[in-house]
Amino acid sequence: MTTAVTTPKARTHPRSARGLVDLVFRARELSLVVALAALVAVTAGVNGNFLSGQGIQDILLNTSILALLAVGQSMVVITRNLDLSVGSVVGLVAFVTGDVLASGWGVVPGVLLGVAIGALCGLLNGLLVSFLRVPALVVTLGTLYVIQGVDHYLAHGRQINAVDLPPGLLRLGNGAVLGVPYLPLITVVIMVGIGYYLRSYPSGREFYAIGSSPEAARLAGVPVRRRILLAYLVSGCLAGLAGVLWLARFGTVIADSAHGWELLVVSAVVVGGVAITGGVGSVYGAALGALLLTTMGSALVVLRVNPFWQQAITGALLLLAISVDRVLALRLARLLRRRSRHA
């Protein structure tokens, strides 16, 4: 009789604990939506043109590349790692792809080349972090400077101009279907695909297990090294694709395109609810964080606020997000321990 009573509790407890965690971080993403709506409402109240068709389209276009990078970065951060090389990868891919397209390559081979360069950079980072066990911060900071050096060496001070690029590529960066620009559509499709994989497939859930406790995941039979390598590979591929889209969006690129974006990407991920300590968050939250930061930048321009304050506010949001994550993690751990004792 005792066994019949305790067995259902043992079975339902993990499910209820997982539901509690999901509820907490859905609320975190909802708070981002509320903050975004409040920001838009205040700015539109001051300047009605902020919500014009062109204004909304500009925000979506400016968000797309940052959100795409944030989606790839979130996979790495969920595993309790970091990729600081994404900005330099974007710059390298944008210039190299522009150079080969200007020399007569087709659009499709040029796009594939850009993604392949990003994949190679991600593979290098993943091998050093997962198999050689070099700290991610050291590895990706080193590859950041190496990739920047290669980019400047190849560029030799040259500049890629929009007039030298195929019209098809420029249409990809500035065209639209049914009034919706191509870039946001590409980002949304990739975000939904990766988000579905992480949540619905056992191998996707293993990324969260690694971030929660790498040693426990290893003892449970999770292929930790291969999953971390895959996370860096995906991040590199998306950074390569972002470099191609950067070229398509702006047309004119130089050697240091996207310089400094690595910190902006990390900020978007953390503000979006992906814990910097790993194991928590979603790609949807990371994309929302990118949208919030981009909209904030546009709003400050409309409100004629000094650009310095954008960086200051971004830093304050980053500190606030880390603090909130820490407080939520501690309270959630206490609540789960309490439930475990009762069970």
Quick one: three-class SS letters along the chain? Answer: CHHHHHHHHHHHHHHHHHHHHHHHHHHHHHHHHHHHHHHHHHHHHHCHHHHCHHHHHHHHHHHHHHHHHHHHHHHHHHCCCCCCCHHHHHHHHHHHHHHHHHCCCCHHHHHHHHHHHHHHHHHHHHHHHHHCCCCHHHHHHHHHHHHHHHHHHHHCCCCECHHHCCHHHHHHHHCEECCEEHHHHHHHHHHHHHHHHHHHCHHHHHHHHHHHCHHHHHHCCCCHHHHHHHHHHHHHHHHHHHHHHHHHHHCCECCCCCCCHHHHHHHHHHHCCCCCCCCCCCHHHHHHHHHHHHHHHHHHHHCCCCHHHHHHHHHHHHHHHHHHHHHHHHHHHHHHHHHHHHC
> Averaging pLDDT over each range in 109-118, 312-321, 323-332, which range is the top one?
109-118
Is the torsion defined by CA of 107, 108, 111, 117 positive or negative? negative
The letter for the amino acid at 278 is G
Q: Is the pLDDT of residue 283 over 70?
A: yes
Q: What would the mean pLDDT of 137-161 be, rounded to a whole number?
A: 93
Span 87-111, pLDDT tens digits: 999 999 999 999 999 998 999 999 9
| pLDDT band, residue 25 (cuts 50/70/90) | low
Q: Is the pLDDT of residue 230 over 90?
A: yes
Q: Is the pLDDT of residue 185 over 50?
A: yes
d(CA 253, CA 327): 43
The residues, ordered by sequence, that sit 6+ positions from 32 with a Cβ below 8 Å of its Cβ are: 271, 272, 273, 285, 288, 289, 292
| pLDDT band, residue 313 (cuts 50/70/90) | confident
Least confident range from 143-157, 219-233, 249-263: namely: 249-263
pLDDT, greater one: 158 or 321 = 158
| pLDDT band, residue 9 (cuts 50/70/90) | very low
Q: Is the pLDDT of residue 133 over 50?
A: yes
d(CA 184, CA 65): 8
Task: Quote the pLDDT of residue 333.
Answer: 66
pTM assigned to the model: 0.87
Task: Quote the pLDDT of residue 142.
Answer: 96
Task: Quote the pLDDT of residue 134.
Answer: 94
- Domains in the chain: boundaries: 49-342
Span 232-268, pLDDT tens digits: 999 999 999 999 999 999 998 988 888 889 989 998 9
The residues, ordered by sequence, that sit 6+ positions from 329 with a Cβ below 8 Å of its Cβ are: 275, 277, 280
Q: Is 232 exposed, middle or buried (0-12, 13-18, 19+ CB in 10 A)?
A: buried
| pLDDT band, residue 4 (cuts 50/70/90) | very low
Q: Kindly indicate whether the domain formed by 49-342 is annotated with CATH number 1.10.3470.
A: yes
Q: Is the pLDDT of residue 308 over 60?
A: yes
